[in-house]
């Protein structure tokens, strides 16, 4: 596979294999890059800044629109690669390509609106006879480090604001699923991006990440991944801007007046879509005691109909997890909860790289599966009698990305908006929802900064002030 690095294609005798998550067969191999490659990538990106920032806004808009169109034109090819390298179902992979292309196009359309404003300096006595205004300029080299679960969407949310703002990029895709993202980077270059403006690093994140993060020529780090890795990057970064999405442990509150049919349908999907490998996964389900039994029966009825198997089959709802190691970790966490007193009411078993859709209840708050992000097809069921207690339980986590509440009561909505410590509060919609122009990000351990069009672009630009003294 072609991996763009420093205006050329990367070459390495040392390679690593990317496997089909269902069959286990090798799909392709990529260079296992070294610290020297990191330095080369950052150097090339730095040297490309003059070319990228010299492009007019119209040129950047045209290139991004062409890149979006290229993704759509190669849609079927990307779908095949995504299914193989991630275990996505056909429907999920198809949506991934369309969503990524739409994101890139939206960033192209945002370019005219990242401007500045005039400042009335003569409002101060010292400002008489002076005219001032501020405007935005590119910040420089952006280091983007991504996760495996949405390879193209995450790339789009990193490359889109980077290039739209006039910056160059060094991109490190997840080693478990890098192929679609690397191919997309090549398409972006073919669409007109300056040759050295896109540099891709493939290989072990624990080797490449700290070196990339600590390089002083890198001015912004955009990272999507685990909290431990994010904290390590932050320690290495120094005085750089950090955009970090570090996962969550999302609560979904179902009140006594909720539309249970709506809540059930959405929460089953939010619990088990893409095997729960999603930062917006509905991990904790907090159900009012008056509807607890009814909701549980409805949830089990819908979830038990899900089909697990080959992601290429149109009838498959649940595919393989990203690796057997990941499936084994979920197995350990479920067993820990069981030993601590939790009851398995659905699933709970692993078979190779597959893990059954699982629902637990009576889970002690001391277990890892309650405190941390499970990143697997497991949800936890809790009852509550008082809405304010439910909000306290929802907040009882170090994460704070998104929370959801199903209710028709305005008082509940207003109380949750004020007291839920999460970046986004969903009302009558599960936590597994995102429209890509939203300011996306979380509180507490869920990360720093916000993605999404203007919010990301502002983080990738500097404000420059001009003051002109009239003679």
pLDDT exceeding 70 applies to what percent of the chain? 100
Q: What is the mean pLDDT of residues 170-192?
A: 98
Q: If you average pLDDT over residues 119-145, what whole number do you get?
A: 96
**Residues 389-401: what's their mean pLDDT?**
97
Length of the chain counted residue by residue: 471
Class of domain 250-435: alpha beta
* pLDDT computed for residue 312 by the predictor: 97
Whether 97 contacts 78, CB under 8 Å: yes
Whole-angstrom Cα distance, residue 40 to residue 38? Answer: 5
304: pLDDT strictly greater than 90: yes
Q: How far apart are the first and last CA of the chain?
A: 61
Q: Residue 161: is its pLDDT beyond 90?
A: yes
Which among 6, 7, 33, 18 is positioned nearest to 201, based on CA atoms?
33
The b/e string for 161-180 (b: 16+ C-beta within 10 A; e otherwise) is: bbbbbbbbbbbbbbbbbbbb
Q: Which pair of tokens denotes residue 166? A: 């006039």
Long-range contacts of the stretch 297-300 (C-beta < 8 A, 24+) = 298/260, 298/261, 298/264, 299/264, 299/267, 299/268, 299/359, 300/345, 300/346, 300/359
Quote the pTM value.
Answer: 0.96
At residue 157, the pLDDT reads: 98
**What are the extents of the domains in the chain?**
4-246+446-469, 250-435
**pLDDT at residue 11 above 90?**
no
What is the maximum span of the chain, computed from C-alpha positions, in angstroms? 81
Half-sphere exposure of residue 349: CA atoms within 13 angstroms, side-chain side: 4
| Average model confidence (pLDDT) across the chain | 97
DSSP 451: B
How far is residue 22's CA from residue 327's CA, in Å, rounded to a whole number? 13
Tens digits of per-residue pLDDT, 343-388? 999 999 999 999 999 999 999 999 999 999 999 999 999 999 999 9
Asked if domains 4-246+446-469 and 250-435 share a fold, the reply is no
**pLDDT by residue (tens digit) across 24-58?**
999 999 999 999 999 999 999 999 999 999 999 99
Rounded CA gap, 54 and 66, in Å?
19
Rounded to an integer, the average pLDDT of 440-451 is 97
Q: What is the pLDDT of residue 169?
A: 98
pLDDT tens-place string over residues 241-257: 999 999 999 999 999 99
CB 22 within 8 A of CB 316: no
Residue 342 clears pLDDT 90, i.e. is over it: yes
Q: What per-residue confidence (pLDDT) applies to 295?
A: 98
Work out the percent of the chain whose per-residue pLDDT is above 90.
99
pLDDT recorded at residue 60:
98
The verdict on whether 324 is a catalytic residue reads no
Residue 127 has pLDDT above 90, yes or no: yes
Q: If you ran DSSP here, which 8-state letter would residue 197 be given?
A: S
With a cut of 90, say whether residue 470 has pLDDT above it.
no
Name the token pair of 213: 């993060």
Q: Mean pLDDT, to the nearest integer, of 6-22?
A: 94
- Give yes or no for residue 273 having a pLDDT over 90: yes
pLDDT at position 39: 97
Q: Is the pLDDT of residue 432 over 90?
A: yes
Q: Which of 170, 181, 243, 174 is nearest to 212 (CA)?
A: 170
Q: What is the CATH number of domain 4-246+446-469?
A: 3.40.605.10
Give the list of residues 6+ apart from residue 462 with CB closer than 8 angstroms, or none: 136, 137, 138, 139
Determine the pLDDT at residue 85.
Answer: 98
Contact (CB, 8 A) for 391 and 253: yes
The predicted pLDDT at position 25 comes to 97
Burial class (CB in 10 A: 0-12, 13-18, 19+), 118: exposed
| Known active-site residue 279 | yes
Q: Which of 245, 361, 373, 451 is catalytic?
A: 245
33 to 78, 141, 181: CA distances (angstroms): 24, 19, 16
pLDDT higher than 90, residue 147: yes
What is d(CA 421, CA 398) in angstroms, rounded to the nearest whole number? 10
The three-state secondary structure class of 221 is: strand
For the segment 126-149, the average pLDDT, to the nearest whole number, is 97
Give the pLDDT of residue 282: 98
Q: What is the gyration radius of the CA atoms in the chain, in angstroms?
A: 23
Give me the catalytic one of 96, 193, 279, 356.
279
Give residue 1's pLDDT. Answer: 87
- The HSE-up count of residue 377 (CA atoms within 13 Å, CB side) is 27
- Predicted confidence at residue 471, as pLDDT, reads 80
């Amino acid at each position: 596979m072609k991996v763009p690095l420093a205006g050329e294609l990367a070459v390495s005798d040392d390679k690593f294999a990317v496997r089909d998550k269902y069959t286990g067969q090798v799909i392709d191999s990529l260079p296992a890059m070294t610290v020297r490659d990191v330095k080369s990538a950052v150097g090339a990106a730095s040297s490309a800044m003059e070319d990228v920032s010299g492009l007019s806004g119209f040129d950047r808009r045209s290139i991004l629109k062409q890149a979006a169109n290229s993704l759509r034109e190669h849609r079927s090819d990307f779908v095949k690669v995504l299914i193989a390298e991630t275990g996505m179902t056909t429907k999920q992979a198809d949506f991934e390509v369309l969503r990524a292309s739409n994101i890139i196009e939206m960033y192209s359309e945002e370019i005219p609106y990242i401007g500045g404003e005039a400042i009335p300096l003569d409002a101060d006595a010292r400002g008489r006879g002076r005219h001032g205004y501020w405007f935005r300029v590119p910040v420089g080299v952006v280091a983007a480090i991504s996760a495996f679960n949405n390879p193209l969407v995450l790339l789009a949310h990193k490359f889109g604001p980077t290039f739209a703002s006039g910056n160059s990029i060094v991109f490190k895709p997840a080693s478990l699923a890098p192929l679609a993202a690397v191919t997309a980077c090549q398409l972006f270059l073919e669409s007109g991006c300056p040759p050295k403006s896109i540099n891709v690093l493939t290989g072990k994140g624990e080797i490449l990440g700290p070196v990339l993060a600590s390089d002083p020529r890198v001015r912004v780090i955009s990272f999507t991944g685990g909290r431990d890795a994010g904290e390590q990057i932050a320690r290495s970064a120094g005085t750089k801007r950090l955009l970090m999405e570090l996962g969550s442990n999302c609560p979904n509150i179902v009140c006594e007046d909720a539309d249970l049919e709506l809540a059930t349908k959405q929460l089953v999907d939010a619990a088990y879509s893409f095997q729960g490998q999603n930062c917006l996964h509905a991990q904790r389900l907090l159900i009012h005691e008056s509807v607890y039994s009814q909701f549980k029966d409805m949830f089990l009825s819908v979830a038990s109909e899900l089909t697990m198997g080959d992601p290429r089959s149109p009838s498959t709802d649940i595919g393989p997890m990203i690796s057997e190691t990941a499936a084994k970790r979920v197995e350990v966490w479920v067993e820990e909860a069981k030993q601590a007193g939790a009851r398995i009411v659905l699933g709970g078993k692993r078979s190779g790289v597959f893990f059954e859709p699982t629902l637990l209840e009576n889970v002690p708050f001391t277990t890892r599966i309650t405190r941390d992000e499970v990143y697997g097809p497991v949800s936890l069921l809790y009852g509550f009698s008082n809405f304010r207690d439910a909000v306290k339980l929802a907040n009882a986590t170090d994460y704070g990305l998104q929370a959801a509440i199903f209710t028709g009561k305005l008082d509940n909505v207003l109380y949750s908006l004020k007291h839920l410590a999460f970046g986004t509060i969903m009302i009558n919609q599960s936590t597994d929802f995102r429209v890509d122009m939203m300011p996306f990000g979380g509180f507490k351990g869920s990360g720093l900064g916000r993605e999404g069009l203007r919010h990301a672009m502002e983080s990738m630009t500097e404000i420059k002030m001009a003051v002109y003294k009239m003679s």
